[in-house]
Amino acid sequence: MTLLLAAFDPPYWVSTLIKVLVISIVVPTTALILGMVFLFKVMSWMQSRLGPQEAGPRGTLQLLADGVKFLQKEDIAPFGADRFIFRTAPLVVLMSTLLLYVALPASAHLVVSDLDVGVFYVLAVSSLSVLGVLMAGWASANKYSLMGGLRAAGQLIAYELPMVLAVLGVVIQAGTLSLNGIVFAQANGSIFGWDAIGNPYILTQFVGFFIFLAAVQAELTQPPFDMPVAESEIVSGYQVEYTGFRFLIFFLAEFATAFVFAGIASVLFLGGWAVPWLDTASDWYYVLGPVVLFAKVMIVSFIIFWVRFTYPRFREDQLQSFAWKILIPLALANIVVTSVLKVVL
Amino acid sequence: MSQLSSADTTTETPAEEATEVEIDERRQAVLDELTARLGDAVVGSHIRPGDDLWVRVERAAWPEAAQVAKALGYTWFDFLSGIDWLPSPFGRDMDAQVDLQVSGAPVKEPAPLVQGYAGGDTRFQVFARLYSIAAGMGIHFKADLPDDELSIGTWSRTYFGADWHERETAEMFGFHFEGHPHLVKLYLPADFQGFPLRKDFPLLARRVRPWPGIVDVEPMPGGDESEGEGE
Amino acid sequence: MTATSDREQIAALAARANDNRVNLDFETEGMTLNMGPQHPATHGTLRIVARLDGEQVISAEPVPGYMHRGYEKLVEVRSYPQINTLVNRIDWLGSFANEVPFILAAEKLMGVEAPPRAQWIRTILFEMSRIANISLFLGDYGLQLGAMTAGFYAFRDREHVLNQIEAATGGRFHPNFDRIGGLKDDLPKGWITDSHRAMDKLLAFCDELDDLLVGNEIFQSRTRGIGVIPRDIALSYGLSGANLRASGVDWDLRRDSCPPGLVYDQADWKVWTHPDGDCFGRTWVRLQETREAALIVKQLLDTIPSGPVMAKVPRIIKVPEGEAYVETENPLGAMGYYIISKGDLVPFRVKIRSASFNNISVVPWVARGAYVPDLISILGSLYFILGDIDR
C-alpha cells in the first residue's frame, strides 16, 4: 500500500484540490458530530431529558435541520454596524479553525501539511480567532457585543500563554516541534525503561494536560470560562447581532475548533493516531489512524463538554487571575521540572 | 371617629379572651408611647384587640411619626400607599350603573364619604404600615391630605424602602411627597395622564363592557334574586 | 436616586472600589447599558438602566412597569371569589401562596374560620407552592451563573411537586383552590402517599443541588461577598423572606406571627438565617428553606385531621365593613393584602403588598460598585418574579 501511494504522485494543484475538499468536508462534519453527540445527546443525558427526537433516527439529523433553517434566514446587518467588518468577522474566525486542521495528523501520512514546527504553527493560528471575535464585537455596534468582544479578547490572549507553556513541557520531552514527531516520540518512548504502551505524555505531563485542557476550555469560551458569551448577562456577547449563515459559521467554527483542539490534545498527550502495540510504520494506520484519533478526540471532547455542562462561569477578573496566578506559575513549574528531569535522565 | 370599631370583635372565641386583653394592653402601650412623643399630632387611633393598631397623625407630623416609630423599634418597613375614600357609586360606576340597569334594580344614591379605622376628614389619605420584629406587632399609620394640597412629607429618608412606594403612590393618586429624591413615575409611562387608583378614574374595560359577572350568571337556585351579581 | 444618604453611598462605593480604582488617572466616559426589558437575566420584563464604568456599575436603576396589570384597580370591580383568580397571577410560580393571605384577610373581616382539615391542607399546599417556587430559583440561579445542568434538575424535580398540586387542585400553576371558609375540594385518594414520595424526591434533589451547585467552588467565588446587604439596610428597605434572613434577621412570619388559618405550629421546623447577607447567604437560606418546607409537608401529611373542608359561608359573599391586613410568609417574602370593605360584593380598596417590590427596590443600593457579572448574581439572588413586582 505504501508503494501504491508512492506511485500516486499527483501534480501540485490536484493534491491541493484534494486537500481543500477534504478539509471542507471534514470541518463541518466534525462540527456536526460534536454538536450532535455532545451538545444534544450527551447534554440531554446528563440533564435527564431526551434531547431532539424527531429529525432522523433518534433525532440524529436535528443539526442538519437547524443548519438548513439558519441558511434560510435573512442575513441582517444592524443599522450602524461597520458592514464590511461585520460580515468578514465570522470568516476570520472560521479561517483560524480551518488553518488549525491543516496541521492535525491523522496518521503518518494523512496530514494536509506535515510541518516541522507544527506545534508552533497550531498555537499561532489558533490565536487568529481573537481578531475575528474583536472585529465582530466592535463592528456590531452593540454594547453587549462590544463588552463580549473585549472580554473575549482579554481572555483569549490571557489563556494563550498557559497553553503555550503547557505544550512546552511536551515539546521538551519529545524534543521536537513536529506534531507527527511528538506522536512518534510517544509511540516509541518508554517510561523508565518500560515501553509496553510507549509513553503517552498524559502520564508524565499530566499537569500540562490539565493546564492545556483548561486553556482549551477558555479558548473555546466554554463554561466555566464563557464570560465573553455569557448568555444570561451579555446575551451571547459578540454573537448577539448575527443571524442566519453568519451565526452558523460562528457555530461551526466553535465546534470544529473544539474538535481540532481535542485532536491536538490527543496528539500531544494521548499518543495521537498511534496505538501502543502496532508499529508506527504499519500500513494499517492509513485506516486505523483516523479511527484511533477520532476515538481519542471523542474521549477528550467528552471531558471538555462534561465540564461545560457542569460548571458555573467564572467572573472576568476571576478567570484572569486564574490564568495569571494559578495556571501560568503551574505551567512554569512544570517546565522547570520537565527540563530538569530531561537533563538528569 | 371610632364608631366602626365595634363591628370588628366578632371572631373572638372564649379561649382567646385571656390572651386578647394582654395583647391589647401592649398595643395600647405603644399607642400611648406614640401619643406621648408626637403630642397633639395623633388625631385618631383604633385598636383591634390581638390584631392591629391604627394611628392617624397630622399631615405635618407624618415624617416625624416615622422617625418616632423607628426609634420605638418599628424598623421594618412594610408598605405605603394611599386611599381614595370617594364613595360608591362613583368608585364602581363603571360596572354598577350599567349593571343595575341590566338587572332592573334602582340606581343607588351616592353614599356619604365615610373614612375607615382611625377616622379622617378628607377624601384622600396616605397610609403605611411599619412592623417591629422584636415586638411582633405592626402599626398602620394614616394621614389626611386636604383636596387642595395633596402633598405630604417623605418617609424615604427614614425608611429607604418607602422610595418606590411613594413613587407608586404619587403616580397612582397624584400625591406629592416633599423631599423625595426622585419622584418620577414608576410603573406608568412618563406621559400618562390621570391617576389610575383614584375612584373617579374610569376603568375603561368596564365602560366598554358591562361586568360579565351580571350578564353571564343565571339566577342561582335559592339565591337572593335581587343580588344576582354574585359569582 | 436611592434614598441612602450620600455619605453612606460614598462609603459603600469606596469600600468596594478600594482595590480597583480604574478611572482616576484617565478620565474615561461611562456607558449606559440598558438591560431589558427583554433580557435573560431579568426573567420577565424588568428593565435595568445601568451606568457603567468599564465593567463596573456606577449606578443601576430598575425600571419596572412593563407588566403592570393594575390589580389594585381591577380588584375594585370584582367580587371576592373573582379576585381569588386574579391574585393567583401575582407570583405565578407559587400561585397558591398568593391566594392564602387574601382569603385569610377576607375571612378575618367576615369572622369565618376554616375547618381544621382545610387549614391543614391549606398549609400543605402553601408549602408545596413554596417548594415549587424556590426549587426553580435554585436551578435558575445556577443557570444565570452558567451552570446549565442545575436548571434542568430543578425542572425535573419540581415536576413532582407540581403533579401533586395538580392532583389536588386541578391546576398546575394557577390552582384557584382556596375559598373563603375553606377549600374547594377535599384531597383525592392516594394523594398523601404520593406526596410523601414527592417530598422524598425533593429532599434528594436538595442534596444533589447542594453538591452540584452550592458546594461548587466557582459558584461560591461568584456569590460569596457579592451583593452584601447589611441588616439595617435590609430592614429599612423592607426586604423580606430569605433576603432578610440571609442578612441575619431571625424573623419568619410563619413562626412569629402566623395568622389564624395556617397550622405551622403543628409541625416541628426551623428558621434558617445566614450572617453574611451576600448572594451566597440568600441562596443557602433558600436551599435550607426548601428542605424545611418538604419536612413541614411530610409532618403535616401525617397529622391531617378528618372532617369537612368548608365552613358554612353564605352563597353570595358580602364582606362586612372594616379593614384588615393579613401578611404571610410567601415564597418570595412577606406578602400582605390590606382589604378595606364597605360591605359590598366587591372590596372598596385592596392594597397588595408584594414581596418582590420591596426586594428589588434595594438594587440601586446594592449594585453600586459591583461588576456587570455581579449584577447578575445580585439580581438572581434577590429572586424576584415580575408579576410580584408589577402586580
pLDDT in tens, C6-26: 556 555 555 554 434 444 455
Q: Does C143 contact chain A (CB < 8 Å)?
A: yes
Q: Does A306 contact chain C (CB < 8 Å)?
A: no
Residue C103 lies in a domain: yes
Average confidence score pLDDT of chain C = 83
Residue B216 pLDDT exceeds 70: no
A47·C152 Cβ contact <8 A = yes
Distance CA C120, CA C367 (A): 41
More confident residue, C76 or B81: B81
Residue C124 lies in a domain: yes
Residue B228 lies in a domain: no
Count residue pairs from B and C with Cβ separation < 8 A: 160
* B25 Cβ neighbours under 8 A, 6+ residues apart: none
Residue C27 lies in a domain: no
Q: Does C221 contact chain A (CB < 8 Å)?
A: yes
| CATH code of the domain covering residue B75 | 3.30.460.80
More confident residue, B132 or A5: B132
Counting the structural domains of chain B, the total is 1
Residue B94 lies in a domain: no
Read off the pLDDT of residues C290-322 as tens digits, 9 standing for 90 and up: 999 998 998 888 888 888 888 888 777 778 888
Residue B211 pLDDT exceeds 70: no
**Average pLDDT of span C38-48:** 75
Which sign, positive or negative, has the C-alpha torsion A321, A324, A327, A330? Answer: negative
Q: Does C374 contact chain A (CB < 8 Å)?
A: yes
C-alpha grid cell for residue A225?
470560562
Distance CA B17, CA B50 (A): 9
Expressed as residue numbers, the domain containing B160 is: 3-86+122-194
Of B58, B15, B7, nearest in space to B35 by CA: B58
| Tens digit of each residue's pLDDT, chain A (345 residues) | 455 555 667 778 887 888 788 878 887 888 888 888 888 888 888 888 888 888 878 778 888 888 888 888 888 877 777 888 888 888 888 888 888 888 888 877 777 777 888 888 888 888 888 888 888 888 887 888 888 888 888 888 888 888 888 888 888 888 888 888 888 788 777 776 666 667 777 777 888 888 998 888 888 888 788 887 877 777 777 888 888 888 888 888 888 888 888 888 888 888 878 777 777 777 777 778 888 888 888 888 888 888 888 888 888 888 888 888 888 898 889 888 888 887 777
**B95 → chain C, closest CA residue:** C77
C149-188 exposure pattern, b = at least 16 Cβ within 10 A, e = fewer: bbbbbbbbbbbbbbebbebbbeeebbbbbbbbbbbeebbe
Q: Does B77 contact chain C (CB < 8 Å)?
A: yes
Which pLDDT does position B221 carry in this prediction?
54
C-alpha grid cell for residue C154?
430543578
Residue C16 lies in a domain: no
* B207 Cβ neighbours under 8 A, 6+ residues apart: B94
**C370 → chain A, closest CA residue:** A315
Residue B25 lies in a domain: yes
Report DSSP letters for A56-101, one per residue. Answer: SGGGTTHHHHHHHHHHHS-----TTS-HHHHHHHHHHHHHHHHHHH
**Average pLDDT of span B137-166:** 86
Residue C310 lies in a domain: yes
Which pLDDT does position C322 carry in this prediction?
83
Residue B55 pLDDT exceeds 50: yes
More confident residue, B50 or A332: A332
Read off the pLDDT of residues C353-375 as tens digits, 9 standing for 90 and up: 888 888 888 888 888 878 888 88
Which pLDDT does position B210 carry in this prediction?
58
Sequence spans of domains, chain A = 73-344
57-96 in chain C: CB under 8 A from chain B: 64-65, 68, 70, 72-74, 76-79, 81-82
Which pLDDT does position C12 carry in this prediction?
57
Counting the structural domains of chain C, the total is 1
DSSP 3-state of B105: coil
Residue C54 lies in a domain: no
* B91 Cβ neighbours under 8 A, 6+ residues apart: B84, B199, C76, C348
Which pLDDT does position C52 carry in this prediction?
79
Q: Does C349 contact chain B (CB < 8 Å)?
A: yes
C-alpha grid cell for residue C231?
441588616
Q: How far is C16 from chain A (nearest CA, A)?
A: 14
C-alpha grid cell for residue C187?
384531597
Expressed as residue numbers, the domain containing C282 is: 77-359
Pairing of strands B52-57, C182-183: unpaired
Q: What is the pTM of this model?
A: 0.81
| CATH code of the domain covering residue C218 | 1.10.645.10
Read off the pLDDT of residues C227-280 as tens digits, 9 standing for 90 and up: 888 888 888 888 888 888 888 888 888 888 878 888 888 888 888 888 888 889
Give me the interface pTM, i.e. the ipTM: 0.81
Distance CA B129, CA C333 (A): 16
Q: How far is B40 from chain C (nearest CA, A)?
A: 25
* HSE, side-chain direction, 13 A CA sphere, residue A274: 30
Of C325, C227, C326, C319, nearest in space to C277 by CA: C227
Looking at residue A239, what DSSP letter applies?
G
Which pLDDT does position B109 carry in this prediction?
60
Residue C3 pLDDT exceeds 50: no
Q: What are the C-alpha distances in Å from C122 to residues A119, C86, C310?
A: 67, 18, 12
Residue B231 lies in a domain: no
Looking up cell 393594575 gives: C70
Distance CA C105, CA C118 (A): 16
pLDDT band at B14 (very low <50, low <70, confident <90, very high): very low
Residue C167 pLDDT exceeds 60: yes
Which pLDDT does position A82 carry in this prediction?
80
Residue B136 pLDDT exceeds 70: yes
Which pLDDT does position C149 carry in this prediction?
84
Distance CA C328, CA B115 (A): 26
C146·A223 Cβ contact <8 A = yes
